């Protein structure tokens, strides 16, 4: 089968492993990616890492960094030339790129599907509400990252075929337990964009409480974003500046080198009126690496972690500090969570399992002819 996928997310090298797995299952796959993606948290330049078995086409988008308005001027010609049987639009249904790709798919008689992480039921102003409604009426299939996203689109009136498939798995050979010892001073990790919704401020305040209690720790913050300076100032204000290290952005293909240095990973995300946590790739990477995870109850975090970690109320630095201290004081609990987390990832969140579920959808769509 011939499939053309449009995915700005696949500028991230680690995500490209799924594309190889899809191609390995017999799909003639072409993937459109931008040369870079520049949003408010920084610029992601295309990482060419996993490229075997499929074709990657790099098209510069107009309005790069604008989720709602970006589109690819050369996409129509590419769809015409490649004659795909399926156009897989790895974009939200309220985005301009989705409408144009779906329209082009219809012109060449291709089946179409879109993907969404959107887990908050909220209206959009015209023309985005019109475009979303048109997409829901004309797309052949919908892929959702979580059950909560599926519920949102059912509430919005989508009545077509739908599957819940988390779009980003991990390579269990790349991410595996390597830390055979505990750090003498426990290392607490945060990995994510330095933006308000990711909750790094909550973690810093929790760390300050640990310091007040005399709990030894070091905090490693990995990521980039507009809040970095404010976070550095907060660490100094809370008296923990010497215990906090800001390491900046790490390429996705080197993240497997980060986890072995951690004793636990914290995901303190905060729900905002227009956003709540949609998945958390670093959660499954950490669990695959045998690193215990403490997460807030924002969005999909509890569903991803399951019984393999600890959940605390979002925005509650006291509860977070208590959960961190409890894990620091209980090495056996950390060892148990390490084993349970690894097993959960192997069962639910590998590139191979995500690819197999996706190809099963492709095969189903093609039987509708």
Residues 159 and 245 in one domain: no
Residues 258 and 162 in one domain: no
Main-chain phi, psi angles of 356, to 5 degrees: -60, -40
Residues 205 and 340 in one domain: yes
Residues 142 and 209 in one domain: no
Lowest mean pLDDT among 145-149, 196-200, 290-294: 145-149
Which pLDDT score, from 0 to 100, does residue 180 have?
58
- Indicate whether 174 belongs to any domain: no
Which pLDDT score, from 0 to 100, does residue 147 have?
87
Total domains in the chain come to 2
How far is the C-alpha of 361 from the C-alpha of 202, rounded, in Å?
40
Burial class (CB in 10 A: 0-12, 13-18, 19+), 101: buried
Mean pLDDT over 133-143 rounds to 97
Residues 13 and 33 in one domain: yes
Which pLDDT score, from 0 to 100, does residue 80 have?
96
Residues 7 and 128 in one domain: yes
Residues 109 and 33 in one domain: yes
Computed from CA positions of residues 361, 48, 58, 281, in that sequence, does the dihedral angle turn out positive or negative? positive
What strands, in cross-sheet order, belong to the sheet with 187-191? Answer: 244-248, 218-222, 187-191, 264-267, 293-296, 310-312
Report pLDDT digits (tens) over 35-56: 999 977 678 899 999 999 999 9
Pairing of strands 36-39, 187-191: unpaired
When pLDDT is cut at 50, 70 and 90, the band that residue 304 belongs to is: very high
Residues 21, 47 contacting (CB under 8 angstroms): no
When pLDDT is cut at 50, 70 and 90, the band that residue 6 belongs to is: very high
Residues 244 and 334 in one domain: yes
**332: containing domain:** 187-348
Residues 336 and 238 in one domain: yes
Report pLDDT digits (tens) over 343-368: 999 988 999 999 999 999 999 999 99
Report pLDDT digits (tens) over 161-202: 999 998 888 999 999 998 656 788 999 999 999 999 999 999
When pLDDT is cut at 50, 70 and 90, the band that residue 104 belongs to is: very high
């Amino acid at each position: 089968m011939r499939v053309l996928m449009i995915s700005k997310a696949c500028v991230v090298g680690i995500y490209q492993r799924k594309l190889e797995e899809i191609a390995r299952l017999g799909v003639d796959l072409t993937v459109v990616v931008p040369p870079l993606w520049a949003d408010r948290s920084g610029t992601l330049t295309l990482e060419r890492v996993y490229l075997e078995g499929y074709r990657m086409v790099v098209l510069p988008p107009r309005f790069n960094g604008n989720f709602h308005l970006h589109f690819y001027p050369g996409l129509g010609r590419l769809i015409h030339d490649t004659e795909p049987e399926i156009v897989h639009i790895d974009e939200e249904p309220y985005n301009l790129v989705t409408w144009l790709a779906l329209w082009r798919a219809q012109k060449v008689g291709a089946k179409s599907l879109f993907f969404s992480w959107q887990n908050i039921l909220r209206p959009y102003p015209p023309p985005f509400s019109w475009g979303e409604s048109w997409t829901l009426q004309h797309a052949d299939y919908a892929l959702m990252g979580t059950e909560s996203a599926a519920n949102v689109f059912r509430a919005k009136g989508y009545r077509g075929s739908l599957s819940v498939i988390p779009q980003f798995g991990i390579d269990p050979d790349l991410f595996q337990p390597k830390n055979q010892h505990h750090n003498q001073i426990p290392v607490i990790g945060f990995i994510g964009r330095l933006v308000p919704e990711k909750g790094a401020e909550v973690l810093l305040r929790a760390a300050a409480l640990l310091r007040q209690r005399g709990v030894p720790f070091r905090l490693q913050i990995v990521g980039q974003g507009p809040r970095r300076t404010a976070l550095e100032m907060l660490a100094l204000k809370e008296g923990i500046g010497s215990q906090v290290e800001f390491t900046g952005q790490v390429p996705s293909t080197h993240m497997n080198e980060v986890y072995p240095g951690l004793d636990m990973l914290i995901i303190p995300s905060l729900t905002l009126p227009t956003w709540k946590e949609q998945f958390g790739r670093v959660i499954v990477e950490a669990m695959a690496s045998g690193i215990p995870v403490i997460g807030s109850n924002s969005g999909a975090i509890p569903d991803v972690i399951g019984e393999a970690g600890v959940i605390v109320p979002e925005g509650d630095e006291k509860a977070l500090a208590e959960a961190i201290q409890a894990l620091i004081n209980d090495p056996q609990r950390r060892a148990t969570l390490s084993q349970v987390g690894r097993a959960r990832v192997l069962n639910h969140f590998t590139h191979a399992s995500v690819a197999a579920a996706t190809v099963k959808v492709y095969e189903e769509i093609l039987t509708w002819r």
